[in-house]
């Protein structure tokens, strides 16, 4: 892993050549995002974040690809274990969200030492929580699989896989929170490169350890857990090396590593809101799938295929939203709330324009988009209807993503949590049940409920954002 110092170039103009911009995206920049051109700042932050998320998604994709050759029991053990890992991801996302907000605020204040302290504290929080969860997960992995309804064959096949993956939760949480700290400094390229390294190792080791290629032992489904954990572990080692070497904007030293209970407490409180947001949306997803399942397996399969397409389509939009969160945190720290607000509206405008283009593609090119997924004829009607209906709300999704993440970036994780409760549990779920049960829309009623609820989320979030209370939020 190269620790080449980040490229330094001014953001005070429209900024650099095309090649310079590409190099800045891939190598990183040591720039002040509280000054200069906002459009270029959004680009430099958003693109690496999109690529980072794509790399994380590849973990699950690659594992599924190889494990699918081992039989139904192996596939089931991976699916059940990943369901249990949702708890870990919830914790990791919450901690990372809080860490990003606090580090960004300190960087905006031009206090690199305080940013390093915040990074150290979120690291201790991740280590402590991950160790406790990992101890329980590693010891009780077979029992947890049984609790999830696994058959004796699945428990026998997947216990080794589950023990390793659930036992290494500290690595997973550390990977999330340290990348969150890099994003808070504006160094999105470092977070992206960390996951490139982790994913590359996973790509190479997966088939070697599953099938026993060359000098590697044949571990079956357990091999994919080893490959994933080694990849993520190396990613964390790279993160720590960079943080301790001081080649980026923050540096961990003995003086900054001392536990600070006050800072840890503030990070913990902020992270609860982030965890709540993820849990609320995940619970809503489970209920929606249950509602769709009343209309048969083909309906569930069609909805699943459509949601996979939607997830891919939303990756660039999430990158834009995360860029807005970093810009808000840093500019609030610099005492520039108006620039923070301007960055949100600029990012939202770009996001809405992008999502409008995606809407046109999905509405008029649905069959073309669904082609690579190889859906059988019984699945295509539901997948097509779901994709087109969901796409009608995409422009609102683009707005809502940016505004919600901006509130999180300001350290106000409570407001988005409350918004999610209203839009997902009070609006989305009852509306999905009513439209699918009483109107003759069938599963289409669920799809319309999703589009309507996310549109409501965008409107409510925008109203909350316009109140401006986030500008005075202390972090």
Nearest to 239 by CA among 107, 111, 127: 127
Asked if 96 and 180 count as a contact pair (C-beta separation under 8 A), the reply is yes
Q: What angle do CA 167, 171, 175 make, to 5 degrees?
A: 150
Could you give the CA distance from residue 262 to residue 121 in angstroms, rounded to a whole number? 10
Bridge partners for 29 per DSSP: 7
pTM (2 decimals)? Answer: 0.87
Cα–Cα distance for residue pair 101/110, rounded to 1 Å: 14
Measured in whole angstroms, the distance separating CA 238 from the mean position of its chain's CA atoms is 20
Q: How many residues does the chain have?
A: 475
Give the integer Cα–Cα distance in Å for 375 and 372.
8
Strand segments, DSSP code E, in 345-431 are none
Q: Which residues of 274-295 are buried (b: 16+ CB within 10 A; e: fewer)?
A: bbbbbbbeeebeebbeebbeeb
The structure tokens listed for 232 are: 């993520």
pLDDT of residue 69: 82
**7 three-state secondary structure:** strand
Q: What angle do CA 375, 379, 382 make, to 5 degrees?
A: 125
Can you give the pLDDT at residue 28?
64
* Structure tokens, 471: 């500008």
Q: What is the pLDDT of residue 3?
A: 41
Contact 400, 457 (CB under 8 A): yes
What pLDDT does residue 6 have? 42
Q: How many CB atoms lie within 10 A of CB 363?
A: 14
CB atoms within 10 A of CB 216: 16
3-state secondary structure 12-62: CCCCCCHHHHHHHHHHCECCCCCCCCHHHHHHHHHHHHHHHHHHHHHHHHH
Asked if 425 contacts 284 with a C-beta cutoff of 8 angstroms, the reply is yes
Longest dimension (CA), the chain: 65
Question: How far is it, in rounded angstroms, from Cα 140 to Cα 342?
Answer: 50
Q: pLDDT by residue for the chain (475 residues), tens digit each?
A: 434 334 334 444 444 566 676 766 667 666 788 888 888 889 888 888 888 777 766 666 666 668 878 887 888 888 788 878 888 999 999 999 999 999 999 999 999 999 999 999 999 999 999 999 999 999 999 999 998 888 899 899 999 999 999 999 999 999 999 999 999 999 988 988 998 899 889 989 999 999 999 999 999 999 999 999 999 999 999 999 999 998 778 899 988 999 999 999 999 999 999 999 999 988 898 898 889 888 887 888 888 788 878 887 888 888 899 999 999 999 999 999 999 999 999 999 999 999 999 999 999 988 888 876 655 677 788 889 999 999 999 999 999 999 999 999 999 999 999 999 999 999 999 999 999 999 989 999 999 999 999 999 999 999 999 999 999 988 8
* φ, ψ at 85 (rounded to 5°): -70, -15
Helix H, strand E, coil C: the string for 331-342 is HHHCCCHHHHHH
């Amino acid at each position: 892993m190269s620790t080449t110092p980040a490229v330094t170039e001014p953001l005070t103009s429209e900024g650099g050549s095309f090649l310079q911009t590409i190099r800045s995206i891939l190598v990183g920049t040591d720039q002040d995002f509280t000054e200069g051109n906002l459009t270029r700042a959004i680009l430099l932050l958003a693109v690496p974040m999109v690529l980072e998320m794509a790399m994380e998604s590849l973990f699950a994709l690659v594992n599924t690809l190889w494990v699918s050759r081992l039989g139904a029991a192996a596939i089931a053990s991976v699916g059940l274990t990943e369901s249990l890992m949702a708890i870990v991801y919830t914790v990791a996302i919450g901690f990372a969200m809080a860490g990003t907000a606090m580090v960004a605020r300190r960087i905006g204040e031009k206090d690199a030492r305080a940013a390093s302290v915040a990074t150290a504290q979120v690291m201790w929080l991740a280590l402590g929580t991950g160790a406790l969860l990992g101890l329980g997960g590693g010891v009780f992995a077979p029992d947890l699989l049984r609790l999830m309804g696994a058959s004796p064959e699945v428990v026998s096949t997947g216990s080794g896989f589950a023990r390793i993956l659930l036992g290494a939760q500290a690595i997973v949480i550390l990977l999330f929170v340290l990348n969150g700290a890099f994003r808070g400094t504006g160094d999105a390229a470092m977070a992206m490169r960390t996951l490139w390294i982790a994913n590359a190792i996973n790509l190479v080791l997966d088939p070697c350890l599953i099938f026993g290629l060359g000098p590697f032992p044949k571990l079956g489904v357990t091999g994919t857990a080893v490959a994933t954990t080694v990849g993520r572990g190396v990613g964390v080692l790279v993160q720590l090396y960079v943080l301790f070497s001081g080649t980026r904007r923050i540096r961990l030293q003995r003086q900054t590593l001392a536990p600070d209970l006050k800072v840890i407490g503030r990070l913990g409180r902020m992270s609860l809101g982030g965890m709540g947001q993820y849990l609320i949306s995940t619970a809503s997803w489970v209920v929606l799938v249950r509602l769709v399942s009343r209309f048969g397996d083909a309906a569930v399969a069609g909805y699943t295929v459509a949601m996979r397409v939607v997830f891919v389509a939303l990756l660039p939009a999430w990158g834009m939203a995360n860029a807005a969160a970093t810009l808000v945190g840093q500019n609030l720290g610099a005492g520039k709330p108006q620039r923070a607000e301007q960055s949100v509206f600029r990012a939202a405008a770009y996001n809405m324009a992008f999502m409008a283009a995606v809407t046109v593609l999905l509405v008029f090119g649905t069959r073309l988009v669904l082609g690579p997924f190889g859906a059988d004829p019984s699945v295509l009607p539901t997948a097509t209807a779901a994709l087109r209906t969901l796409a009608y709300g995409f422009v609102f999704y683009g707005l809502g993503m940016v505004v919600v993440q901006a509130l999180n970036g300001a350290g106000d994780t409570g407001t988005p949590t409350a918004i999610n409760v209203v839009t997902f549990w009070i609006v989305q779920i009852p509306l999905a049940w009513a439209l699918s049960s009483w109107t003759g829309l069938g599963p289409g009623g669920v799809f319309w409920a999703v589009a309507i609820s996310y549109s409501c989320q965008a409107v409510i979030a925008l109203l909350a954002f316009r109140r401006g209370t986030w500008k005075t939020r202390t972090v």
